[in-house]
C-alpha cells in the first residue's frame, strides 16, 4: 500500500517522525515539494536528527530515498546537510539517495531576494524561512529557473546564471543587500553539484518500477495544508502545493498509485511566521515554550501555539482525502485541567465550519469552543492506544468525529518508539 503523509495544520505537525516510523515497513520514501524550508525531526535510539531536504527515511539502511522533481533544491544546503547527517553515523550512498534531474535549483541570490521581499513588505511580511523558496518557485513558474539536469551542460548553465545574477543584482541594489558575482555563484554551486552528481537520475522510471513491482512507497509531505499555495491562508503561505495532490505532480507517480493518505496533526495547533491564527493562545504558548517545546526546527523561532482547530482540520481532511489521522504531541496536553476544541468560527454573526477565502474575514473569525476534561496524567510511557487515559481517548474520539476521519496513529513523545498504532 502506498501512502501519502501530509501535514494538516501550518507545518511542524510531526511528519518526519511518522515517516520515519512507517519507513520500517516501506521500501521507498519520496519528497515531492518544498525545499530546505522544511525541518523534520526524528529521534531514534536517543539521537536527534533534523532533516531539511533529505527524506526522513534516510535513517534506515536498505531503503531508497528520492528527492522528487517538485522539490526546489539548494545544492549548497543539501551538501551541508548530507555531511551533517553522515557525521551522525548515517550512510548516504547513491544507491540510497536519488535526486530528480527535473528538480529546480535554489541559487544563492534566491535567498537574498527572499530577504529583500520580506524587507519590502515591512509589517506585512510573510515571515518566510529566508531559504529562497518563493523566488526559486517563482523562477520555475516564470520559466527562467534552472533544473538539476541543466547543470550537466555547464556552458548553458553559466550563461543562465550570469543573466539571472544581473537581474537579481538590480533588485538587491535597491535594498542595499549583497550583490552577487556570477563567477563566484557558478563556482559555489558547481562545487556542491559535483558532490551531488552521483545521486542524480531520472527518478520517474525508478518510482514507476518500484510501484509496478509491488514495493511500498511513502510520500513525505513538507509544510502543511494551511501553508498550501491554493488552500492555505494566502498570502501567508509557502510557494508549493503542500497538499496530497502535490505528491503526484512532485514525483511523477499518478493518483492511481496511491491507496492511503495519513494526515498528521498535533493535538493542539502551532504556527510559525505571520498570518491568521484564530485559536492562538498566549497561555498555551508560554506553557509549551516553558517546557522547551515548540521552537522551529529550521529557524529556531518560537512557534505560536493554540487550541486544536477542527475548522482547519475538517477542511484539510477534505482537500487531502485523508483516510487516517496521526495525532502527535498528545503528551503536550498531559497537565491541563480542561481542553478547548474549536468546532467552528463566528464571522460577523455567521457560523462557518470551513475556513474562509477572504483574507480579511480571517481576522474577524472568532473561534467557537467546546470544552473537554483533561486527563492530568503522564501519557509518555503508554505503549498502546488502549493504555491511554479515558479522557485522552475521548478527546481523540471527538477530534476524529469533528474531522470526519479515523485515528490511525497517536504520538506520546518525540521518540520513534513513542508512536502508537491504533
Ligand atoms: P515536521 O516538520 O512535521 O516533521 O515536525 P517538526 O519536526 O518540525 O516538529 C515537530 C516537533 O514535535 C519536533 O520537535 C518533534 O520531535 C516533536 N514531536 C513529534 N511527535 C511528538 C510527540 O508525539 N510528542 C512530543 N513530545 N513531541 C513530538
Ligand atoms: P515543515 O516541513 C512550518 C512557513 C514559514 C512562513 C511561510 C512561508 O517543517 O512542516 P517559506 O520559507 O516557505 O517561503 O515561508 O511558511 N513555513 C513553515 N512553517 N513548517 C515548515 O515546514 C515550514 N515551511 C515554511 O514560517 O510562515
Ligand atoms: Mg518542521
Instruction: Report pLDDT digits (tens) over 291-349.
Output: 999 998 888 889 999 999 999 999 999 999 999 999 999 999 999 999 999 999 999 99
Q: Determine the pLDDT at residue 178.
A: 85
- 40 within ligand 2 shell (Cβ under 6 A): yes
Distance from the CA of 294 to the center of ligand 3, in angstroms? 10
Can you list the positions of beta strands (E) in 137-223?
A: 200-201, 217-220
SS3 152: helix
Query: Residues with catalytic annotation?
Result: 12, 40
Distance CA 288, CA 295 (A): 10
DSSP conformation class of 52: S
Other CB atoms within 10 A of residue 234 CB: 15
Q: Which residue has the cell 518544498?
A: 34
Please state the atom number of ligand 1 nearest to the C-alpha of residue 264. 3
Instruction: Return phi, psi of residue 83, to 5°.
Output: -65, -40
Q: Determine the pLDDT at residue 176.
A: 84
Cis peptide leading into residue 94 (ω within 30°): no
Mutate to test the pocket of ligand 1, among 4, 37, 41, 291 (most ligand atoms within 8 A of CB): 41
- 227 within ligand 2 shell (Cβ under 6 A): yes
pTM above 0.95, yes or no: yes
Q: Determine the pLDDT at residue 308.
A: 98
Instruction: Give me the residues of the chain with pLDDT under 50, please.
Output: none
Q: Are strands 304-306 and 407-411 parallel, antiparallel or unpaired?
A: unpaired
Q: Determine the pLDDT at residue 85.
A: 98
Amino acid at each position: 500500500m502506498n501512502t501519502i503523509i501530509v501535514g494538516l495544520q501550518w507545518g511542524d505537525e510531526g511528519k518526519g517522525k511518522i515517516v520515519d516510523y512507517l519507513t520500517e515497513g516501506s521500501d521507498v520514501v519520496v519528497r515531492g515539494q518544498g525545499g530546505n524550508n522544511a525541518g523534520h525531526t526524528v529521534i531514534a535510539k536517543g539521537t536527534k536528527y533534523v532533516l531539511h531536504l533529505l527524506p526522513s527515511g534516510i535513517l534506515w539502511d536498505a531503503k531508497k530515498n528520492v528527492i522528487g522533481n517538485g522539490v526546489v533544491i539548494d545544492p549548497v544546503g543539501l551538501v551541508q546537510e548530507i555531511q551533517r547527517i553522515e557525521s551522525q553515523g548515517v550512510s548516504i550512498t547513491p544507491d540510497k539517495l536519488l535526486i530528480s534531474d527535473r528538480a529546480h535549483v535554489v541559487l544563492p541570490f534566491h535567498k537574498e531576494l527572499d530577504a529583500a521581499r520580506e524587507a519590502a513588505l515591512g509589517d506585512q511580511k510573510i515571515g518566510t524561512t529566508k531559504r529562497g523558496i518563493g523566488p526559486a518557485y517563482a523562477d520555475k513558474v516564470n520559466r527562467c529557473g534552472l533544473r538539476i539536469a541543466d547543470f550537466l551542460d555547464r556552458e548553458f548553465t553559466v550563461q543562465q546564471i550570469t543573466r539571472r545574477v544581473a537581474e537579481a543584482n538590480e533588485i538587491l541594489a535597491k535594498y542595499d543587500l549583497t550583490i552577487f558575482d556570477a563567477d563566484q555563484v557558478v563556482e559555489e554551486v558547481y562545487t556542491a553539484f559535483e558532490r551531488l552528481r552521483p545521486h542524480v537520475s531520472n527518478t520517474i522510471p525508478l518510482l514507476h518500477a518500484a510501484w509496478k513491482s509491488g514495493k511500498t512507497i511513502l510520500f513525505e509531505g513538507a509544510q502543511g495544508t494551511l501553508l498550501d499555495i491554493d488552500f492555505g491562508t494566502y498570502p501567508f503561505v509557502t510557494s508549493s502545493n503542500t497538499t496530497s495532490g502535490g505528491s503526484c505532480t512532485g514525483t511523477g507517480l499518478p493518483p492511481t498509485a496511491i491507496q492511503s493518505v495519513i494526515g498528521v496533526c498535533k493535538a493542539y495547533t502551532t504556527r510559525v511566521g505571520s498570518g491568521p491564527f484564530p485559536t492562538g493562545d498566549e497561555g498555551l504558548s508560554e506553557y509549551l515554550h516553558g517546557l522547551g517545546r515548540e521552537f522551529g526546527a529550521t529557524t529556531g523561532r518560537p512557534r505560536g501555539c493554540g487550541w486544536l482547530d477542527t475548522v482547519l482540520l475538517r477542511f484539510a481532511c477534505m482537500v487531502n482525502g485523508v483516510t487516517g489521522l496521526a495525532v502527535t504531541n498528545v503528551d503536550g496536553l498531559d497537565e491541563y485541567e480542561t481542553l478547548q476544541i474549536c468546532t467552528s468560527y463566528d464571522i460577523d454573526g455567521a457560523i462557518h465550519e470551513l475556513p474562509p477565502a477572504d483574507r480579511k474575514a480571517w481576522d474577524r473569525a472568532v473561534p467557537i469552543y467546546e470544552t473537554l476534561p483533561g486527563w492530568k496524567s503522564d501519557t509518555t510511557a503508554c505503549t498502546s492506544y488502549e493504555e491511554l487515559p479515558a479522557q485522552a481517548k475521548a478527546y481523540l474520539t471527538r477530534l476524529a468525529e469533528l474531522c470526519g476521519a479515523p485515528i490511525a496513529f497517536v504520538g506520546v513523545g518525540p521518540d520513534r518508539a513513542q508512536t502508537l498504532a491504533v
